[in-house]
Structure 1
Amino acid sequence: MSDATYAPANASNDLIALGDSITKAGVQGIRFTTATVLGWIGAMKFTAYEAGAIEGLVASSPLTNWLYSVFSVQGASNLIGATEIAVAALIIAGAKFPKAALLGALGAVATFLVTASFLFTAPVTEPSLGGFPALSVVPGQFLLKDIVLLAAAVFLAGDAVKRIARNS
Protein backbone atom coordinates (compact mmCIF):
# COMPACT_ATOMS: atom_id res chain seq x y z
CA MET A 1 0.00 0.00 0.00
CA SER A 2 1.43 3.39 -0.92
CA ASP A 3 1.74 6.26 1.52
CA ALA A 4 -0.83 8.19 -0.53
CA THR A 5 -3.56 5.62 0.09
CA TYR A 6 -2.58 4.96 3.71
CA ALA A 7 -2.51 8.56 4.91
CA PRO A 8 -6.17 9.44 4.23
CA ALA A 9 -7.42 6.26 5.92
CA ASN A 10 -5.20 6.94 8.91
CA ALA A 11 -6.38 10.56 9.09
CA SER A 12 -9.97 9.35 8.82
CA ASN A 13 -9.44 6.88 11.67
CA ASP A 14 -7.86 9.64 13.77
CA LEU A 15 -10.88 11.86 13.16
CA ILE A 16 -13.24 9.02 14.07
CA ALA A 17 -11.30 8.43 17.31
CA LEU A 18 -11.38 12.15 18.07
CA GLY A 19 -15.11 12.24 17.36
CA ASP A 20 -15.66 9.25 19.67
CA SER A 21 -13.72 11.00 22.46
CA ILE A 22 -15.71 14.19 22.03
CA THR A 23 -18.97 12.23 22.01
CA LYS A 24 -18.02 10.42 25.25
CA ALA A 25 -17.23 13.77 26.87
CA GLY A 26 -20.53 15.13 25.55
CA VAL A 27 -22.51 12.22 27.01
CA GLN A 28 -20.96 12.86 30.41
CA GLY A 29 -21.63 16.58 30.04
CA ILE A 30 -25.28 15.93 29.19
CA ARG A 31 -25.56 13.47 32.09
CA PHE A 32 -24.14 15.78 34.74
CA THR A 33 -25.66 19.05 33.53
CA THR A 34 -29.12 17.47 33.27
CA ALA A 35 -28.72 16.11 36.79
CA THR A 36 -27.49 19.49 38.02
CA VAL A 37 -30.48 21.31 36.54
CA LEU A 38 -32.94 18.80 38.00
CA GLY A 39 -31.26 18.68 41.40
CA TRP A 40 -30.91 22.43 41.72
CA ILE A 41 -34.43 23.21 40.59
CA GLY A 42 -35.70 20.35 42.76
CA ALA A 43 -33.96 21.76 45.83
CA MET A 44 -35.49 25.17 45.14
CA LYS A 45 -38.97 23.60 45.26
CA PHE A 46 -38.57 23.36 49.05
CA THR A 47 -38.64 27.16 49.34
CA ALA A 48 -41.84 29.18 49.63
CA TYR A 49 -40.52 31.42 46.85
CA GLU A 50 -40.38 28.58 44.31
CA ALA A 51 -43.62 26.96 45.52
CA GLY A 52 -45.38 30.24 44.80
CA ALA A 53 -43.57 30.71 41.50
CA ILE A 54 -44.78 27.37 40.09
CA GLU A 55 -48.30 27.58 41.47
CA GLY A 56 -49.80 29.10 38.31
CA LEU A 57 -48.07 26.57 36.05
CA VAL A 58 -49.11 23.59 38.15
CA ALA A 59 -52.67 24.87 38.49
CA SER A 60 -53.01 25.51 34.74
CA SER A 61 -52.22 21.95 33.68
CA PRO A 62 -54.63 19.01 33.68
CA LEU A 63 -51.57 16.81 34.29
CA THR A 64 -50.66 18.50 37.57
CA ASN A 65 -53.56 20.61 38.87
CA TRP A 66 -54.88 17.66 40.91
CA LEU A 67 -51.85 18.05 43.21
CA TYR A 68 -53.51 21.01 44.92
CA SER A 69 -56.57 18.95 45.82
CA VAL A 70 -54.28 16.50 47.66
CA PHE A 71 -51.46 18.73 48.93
CA SER A 72 -50.95 22.31 49.99
CA VAL A 73 -49.04 24.61 47.62
CA GLN A 74 -45.85 23.92 49.58
CA GLY A 75 -46.62 20.19 49.90
CA ALA A 76 -47.10 19.82 46.15
CA SER A 77 -43.91 21.76 45.52
CA ASN A 78 -42.04 19.55 48.01
CA LEU A 79 -43.28 16.41 46.23
CA ILE A 80 -42.21 17.75 42.84
CA GLY A 81 -38.83 18.78 44.30
CA ALA A 82 -38.23 15.40 45.93
CA THR A 83 -39.06 13.68 42.64
CA GLU A 84 -36.67 15.93 40.72
CA ILE A 85 -33.86 15.33 43.23
CA ALA A 86 -34.43 11.55 43.09
CA VAL A 87 -34.31 11.63 39.29
CA ALA A 88 -31.09 13.69 39.42
CA ALA A 89 -29.54 11.16 41.82
CA LEU A 90 -30.46 8.28 39.50
CA ILE A 91 -28.93 10.10 36.53
CA ILE A 92 -25.69 10.63 38.47
CA ALA A 93 -25.64 7.01 39.67
CA GLY A 94 -26.21 6.10 36.04
CA ALA A 95 -22.63 7.09 35.23
CA LYS A 96 -21.68 3.75 36.83
CA PHE A 97 -24.93 1.78 36.81
CA PRO A 98 -26.77 1.57 33.46
CA LYS A 99 -30.10 0.45 34.97
CA ALA A 100 -30.09 3.49 37.27
CA ALA A 101 -29.23 5.57 34.20
CA LEU A 102 -32.31 4.27 32.41
CA LEU A 103 -34.61 4.89 35.39
CA GLY A 104 -33.20 8.39 35.83
CA ALA A 105 -33.45 9.19 32.12
CA LEU A 106 -37.05 7.95 31.94
CA GLY A 107 -37.86 10.02 35.03
CA ALA A 108 -36.31 13.04 33.35
CA VAL A 109 -38.27 12.35 30.15
CA ALA A 110 -41.49 12.28 32.19
CA THR A 111 -40.51 15.44 34.09
CA PHE A 112 -39.67 17.41 30.96
CA LEU A 113 -42.73 16.14 29.08
CA VAL A 114 -44.89 17.52 31.87
CA THR A 115 -43.05 20.84 32.08
CA ALA A 116 -42.93 21.21 28.29
CA SER A 117 -46.69 20.61 28.24
CA PHE A 118 -47.07 23.85 30.22
CA LEU A 119 -46.23 25.61 26.95
CA PHE A 120 -49.73 24.55 25.85
CA THR A 121 -51.61 25.10 29.11
CA ALA A 122 -50.09 28.22 30.67
CA PRO A 123 -50.26 31.77 29.33
CA VAL A 124 -46.88 31.79 27.57
CA THR A 125 -47.32 34.35 24.80
CA GLU A 126 -46.65 38.07 25.08
CA PRO A 127 -49.82 40.03 24.22
CA SER A 128 -47.98 43.34 23.91
CA LEU A 129 -46.02 41.84 21.00
CA GLY A 130 -49.09 40.46 19.26
CA GLY A 131 -49.23 37.04 20.90
CA PHE A 132 -47.88 33.91 19.22
CA PRO A 133 -45.08 33.38 18.31
CA ALA A 134 -43.80 36.00 20.79
CA LEU A 135 -43.11 34.26 24.08
CA SER A 136 -43.26 35.98 27.43
CA VAL A 137 -40.05 35.89 29.45
CA VAL A 138 -41.86 34.05 32.24
CA PRO A 139 -43.25 31.49 31.81
CA GLY A 140 -42.78 31.19 28.02
CA GLN A 141 -39.04 31.55 27.54
CA PHE A 142 -38.44 29.95 30.94
CA LEU A 143 -40.27 26.81 29.78
CA LEU A 144 -38.81 26.71 26.28
CA LYS A 145 -35.54 25.28 27.62
CA ASP A 146 -37.42 22.18 28.71
CA ILE A 147 -37.75 20.95 25.14
CA VAL A 148 -33.94 20.84 24.92
CA LEU A 149 -33.76 19.11 28.30
CA LEU A 150 -36.39 16.65 27.06
CA ALA A 151 -34.17 15.82 24.08
CA ALA A 152 -31.18 15.39 26.42
CA ALA A 153 -33.21 13.00 28.60
CA VAL A 154 -34.27 10.96 25.55
CA PHE A 155 -30.61 10.80 24.47
CA LEU A 156 -29.58 9.60 27.95
CA ALA A 157 -32.31 6.93 27.86
CA GLY A 158 -30.99 5.66 24.53
CA ASP A 159 -27.44 5.65 25.86
CA ALA A 160 -28.57 3.69 28.93
CA VAL A 161 -30.39 1.10 26.81
CA LYS A 162 -27.22 0.57 24.74
CA ARG A 163 -25.12 0.21 27.91
CA ILE A 164 -27.56 -2.29 29.41
CA ALA A 165 -27.55 -4.31 26.17
CA ARG A 166 -23.72 -4.36 26.07
CA ASN A 167 -23.62 -5.63 29.68
CA SER A 168 -26.11 -8.44 29.00
Structure 2
Amino acid sequence: MNLNQIAYRIGVIGTVIILVWVGLFKFTTAEAGAIKGLVENHFAMSWMYKVMSVEVVSNVIGVFEVFTGVGLLFSLFYRKIGIYAGAASAVIFITTPGVFKMGEGFPVTDFFILKDIPYLAISLMVYTKSKE
Protein backbone atom coordinates (compact mmCIF):
# COMPACT_ATOMS: atom_id res chain seq x y z
CA MET A 1 0.00 0.00 0.00
CA ASN A 2 1.47 3.35 -1.03
CA LEU A 3 1.30 6.64 0.86
CA ASN A 4 -1.59 7.93 -1.28
CA GLN A 5 -3.70 4.87 -0.37
CA ILE A 6 -2.82 5.22 3.31
CA ALA A 7 -3.73 8.93 3.29
CA TYR A 8 -7.04 8.15 1.54
CA ARG A 9 -7.91 5.49 4.13
CA ILE A 10 -7.01 7.81 7.02
CA GLY A 11 -9.24 10.51 5.53
CA VAL A 12 -12.14 8.11 5.08
CA ILE A 13 -11.76 6.61 8.56
CA GLY A 14 -11.55 10.09 10.09
CA THR A 15 -14.75 11.04 8.29
CA VAL A 16 -16.40 7.82 9.50
CA ILE A 17 -15.48 8.62 13.11
CA ILE A 18 -16.90 12.14 12.84
CA LEU A 19 -20.14 11.02 11.18
CA VAL A 20 -20.80 8.19 13.62
CA TRP A 21 -19.84 10.30 16.65
CA VAL A 22 -21.88 13.32 15.61
CA GLY A 23 -24.72 11.09 14.41
CA LEU A 24 -24.99 9.38 17.77
CA PHE A 25 -24.87 12.76 19.51
CA LYS A 26 -28.00 13.75 17.54
CA PHE A 27 -29.95 11.44 19.87
CA THR A 28 -29.40 13.83 22.78
CA THR A 29 -31.77 16.65 23.73
CA ALA A 30 -28.91 19.16 23.81
CA GLU A 31 -27.86 18.44 20.22
CA ALA A 32 -31.46 18.37 18.99
CA GLY A 33 -31.84 21.94 20.23
CA ALA A 34 -28.39 22.99 19.04
CA ILE A 35 -28.99 22.03 15.39
CA LYS A 36 -32.47 23.54 15.16
CA GLY A 37 -31.27 26.86 13.73
CA LEU A 38 -29.09 25.15 11.14
CA VAL A 39 -31.84 22.77 10.04
CA GLU A 40 -34.45 25.54 9.88
CA ASN A 41 -32.21 27.47 7.45
CA HIS A 42 -31.23 24.49 5.31
CA PHE A 43 -32.69 24.55 1.80
CA ALA A 44 -33.46 20.82 1.82
CA MET A 45 -34.38 20.18 5.45
CA SER A 46 -36.38 23.16 6.71
CA TRP A 47 -39.68 21.37 5.98
CA MET A 48 -38.93 18.66 8.54
CA TYR A 49 -40.07 20.69 11.56
CA LYS A 50 -43.50 21.05 10.00
CA VAL A 51 -44.10 17.29 10.23
CA MET A 52 -41.82 16.14 13.09
CA SER A 53 -40.74 17.29 16.53
CA VAL A 54 -37.30 18.75 17.24
CA GLU A 55 -36.14 15.46 18.77
CA VAL A 56 -37.44 13.30 15.91
CA VAL A 57 -35.81 15.53 13.30
CA SER A 58 -32.52 15.26 15.16
CA ASN A 59 -32.89 11.47 15.43
CA VAL A 60 -33.62 11.14 11.70
CA ILE A 61 -30.55 13.19 10.87
CA GLY A 62 -28.53 11.11 13.34
CA VAL A 63 -29.62 7.83 11.73
CA PHE A 64 -28.70 9.22 8.29
CA GLU A 65 -25.26 10.29 9.55
CA VAL A 66 -24.52 6.97 11.28
CA PHE A 67 -25.61 4.91 8.25
CA THR A 68 -23.57 7.15 5.97
CA GLY A 69 -20.51 6.74 8.19
CA VAL A 70 -20.90 2.97 8.19
CA GLY A 71 -21.34 3.10 4.40
CA LEU A 72 -18.10 5.03 4.05
CA LEU A 73 -16.32 2.42 6.14
CA PHE A 74 -17.70 -0.38 3.95
CA SER A 75 -16.66 1.57 0.86
CA LEU A 76 -13.07 0.67 1.72
CA PHE A 77 -13.96 -2.97 1.01
CA TYR A 78 -16.92 -2.75 -1.39
CA ARG A 79 -16.46 -0.13 -4.08
CA LYS A 80 -20.13 0.15 -5.13
CA ILE A 81 -21.17 1.18 -1.62
CA GLY A 82 -18.83 4.16 -1.96
CA ILE A 83 -20.95 5.64 -4.73
CA TYR A 84 -23.94 5.93 -2.41
CA ALA A 85 -22.02 6.65 0.80
CA GLY A 86 -19.84 9.28 -0.89
CA ALA A 87 -22.89 11.03 -2.34
CA ALA A 88 -24.77 10.87 0.99
CA SER A 89 -21.74 12.17 2.86
CA ALA A 90 -21.34 15.06 0.40
CA VAL A 91 -24.96 16.03 1.03
CA ILE A 92 -24.31 16.04 4.78
CA PHE A 93 -21.28 18.31 4.49
CA ILE A 94 -22.83 20.99 2.29
CA THR A 95 -22.72 24.08 4.47
CA THR A 96 -26.02 25.58 5.59
CA PRO A 97 -26.91 28.87 3.86
CA GLY A 98 -26.79 32.01 5.97
CA VAL A 99 -24.08 30.72 8.31
CA PHE A 100 -21.63 33.54 7.52
CA LYS A 101 -22.33 36.98 9.01
CA MET A 102 -20.40 40.23 8.89
CA GLY A 103 -18.60 41.07 12.11
CA GLU A 104 -16.42 44.18 12.36
CA GLY A 105 -16.07 44.32 8.57
CA PHE A 106 -15.03 40.68 8.24
CA PRO A 107 -17.13 37.56 7.58
CA VAL A 108 -17.43 35.38 10.68
CA THR A 109 -19.12 32.05 11.30
CA ASP A 110 -19.67 29.34 13.84
CA PHE A 111 -16.25 27.85 13.12
CA PHE A 112 -17.31 24.24 13.61
CA ILE A 113 -19.05 24.55 10.22
CA LEU A 114 -15.67 25.07 8.53
CA LYS A 115 -14.77 21.43 9.24
CA ASP A 116 -17.29 20.52 6.58
CA ILE A 117 -14.96 21.71 3.80
CA PRO A 118 -12.31 18.93 4.06
CA TYR A 119 -14.99 16.33 4.85
CA LEU A 120 -16.85 17.38 1.71
CA ALA A 121 -13.63 16.88 -0.25
CA ILE A 122 -13.19 13.37 1.20
CA SER A 123 -16.83 12.57 0.43
CA LEU A 124 -16.32 13.56 -3.20
CA MET A 125 -13.10 11.54 -3.34
CA VAL A 126 -14.95 8.42 -2.12
CA TYR A 127 -17.69 8.99 -4.68
CA THR A 128 -15.31 9.45 -7.63
CA LYS A 129 -12.95 6.65 -6.59
CA SER A 130 -15.91 4.27 -6.32
CA LYS A 131 -16.96 5.06 -9.89
CA GLU A 132 -13.53 4.17 -11.36
TM tier, smaller: over 0.9
- 1:158 and 2:124 matched: no
Match of 1:125 in 2: 101
Q: Which has the higher helix share?
A: 1
**TM-score, structure 2 as length reference:** 0.92
Map 1:38-77 onto structure 2 (within 5 A).
38-77=19-58
Report the identity percentage. Answer: 28
Q: Which has the higher strand share?
A: 2
- 1:22 and 2:35 matched: no
Q: Decide which moves more: 150-159 or 75-84.
A: 150-159
- Point out which structure has higher relative CO (alpha carbons under 8 A, 6+ apart): 2
Distance change (3 Å), C-alpha of 1:131 and 1:143: farther
Q: Which runs of 5+ in 1 are unaligned?
A: 1-19, 163-168
Match of 1:32 in 2: 13
CA-CA distance at 1:160 after TM superposition: 1.2
Q: Distance in 2 between matches of 1:161 and 1:102?
A: 7
- C-alpha offsets along residues 114-135 of structure 1, whole Å, 9 cap, x if unaligned? xx1x1x323x3363xx1532x1
CA-CA distance at 1:78 after TM superposition: 0.3
Q: Which of the residues 90, 107, 113 maps onto 1:143?
A: 113
